Each structure stands twice: as C-alpha cells, then as structure tokens.
C-alpha cells in the first residue's frame, strides 16, 4: 500500500527518521518532491514514535514529518501515520516492539520546507529527537 499522501485525510507524509540510541540510523524520504507545491500552504507537523523503557525513560524510535490541511481529519491522519509506520519494511519491526506510542505535534507555522534540501531534514529531526527524548540511549 502507498500511504505517502491521502487527500481524503488531507495528509502528506514527507519522510521518516529512525533512531538507534541517539544516532539517526535511517532516513526514509517518500517521493514527495514532485507534489510539493500542492502541500506548500499546509501546516507542518511531526509524528513521534516513542517507547518507555523499564526505568521509565522515553526513547524516541522514529519521527515522521508530515503536512496537513487545516480541515484534516485528525483521527484519520493518526491512523494513516501509524499504518505507514507499520507498513514500511524499515520501521515495521519497530512498530512491533511492546509499548510503542505515537504523539502528533503540529507546528505553529508552515516551517518545514519541501523539499528538505541539504542538512535541513537532519536538523529538524535532531531537534525533535532532543525535545522528546528522556536520556536513555539503549
């Protein structure tokens, strides 16, 4: 299945970063470049997939960046992000870990650039990682 964009949910998934410890180990970018103008005025957001360890610390497993329209169906958008995460071969094993949860964060502006050129994506993912990570690097 292709979850890269869903116009009914008014959601476009821009890309994923997968973390092991505090290092970004995979960077998956769906083919959104050719469609970028359609989503230029949509609001940016991030889906943050975390797991709480036995010691109670939150570990960031992956972050997905997305764009959504102002009239997006939030429940459908969350289900779509979860499905995309579970469907991707690189993130599928992470989705099967016990205690994985999803948090959605909408930015105050349309700040995430499309396409994400140069180090822009890595910077965005790193900032989100440090904001939502509690310090466990295992």
**Domain boundaries of the chain, sorted by first residue:** 5-132
CB distance 21 to 68 below 8 Å: no
What's the confidence (pLDDT) of residue 137?
A: 47
Please tell me the total number of residues recorded for the chain in this structure: 138
Task: Average pLDDT across each block of 10 residues of the chain; the chain has 138 residues. List them in order.
Answer: 61 86 78 74 90 86 89 85 82 85 83 78 88 68
DSSP codes of every residue in 83-110 = HHHHHSHHHHHHHTSTTEEEEEEE-SSS
Token representation of residue 26: 């995979």
Q: What are φ and ψ of residue 38, in 5° steps? A: -60, -30
pLDDT value of residue 4: 56
Q: How confident is the model at residue 111, as a pLDDT?
A: 72
> pTM to 2 decimals?
0.83
Which has the closest alpha carbon to 132: 95, 107, 103? 103
């Amino acid at each position: 299945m292709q979850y890269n964009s869903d116009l009914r949910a008014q959601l476009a998934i821009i890309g994923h970063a997968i973390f092991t410890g505090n290092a970004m180990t995979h960077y998956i970018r769906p083919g959104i470049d050719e469609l970028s103008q359609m989503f230029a005025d949509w609001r940016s957001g991030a889906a943050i997939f975390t797991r709480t360890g036995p010691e109670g610390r939150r570990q960031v497993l992956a972050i997905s960046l997305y764009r959504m329209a102002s009239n997006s169906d939030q429940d459908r958008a969350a289900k779509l992000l979860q499905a995309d995460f579970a469907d991707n071969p690189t993130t599928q094993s992470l989705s099967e870990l016990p205690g994985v949860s999803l948090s959605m964060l909408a930015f105050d502006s349309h700040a995430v650039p499309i396409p994400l050129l140069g180090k822009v994506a890595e910077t965005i993912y790193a900032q989100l990682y440090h904001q939502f990570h509690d310090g466990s690097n295992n």
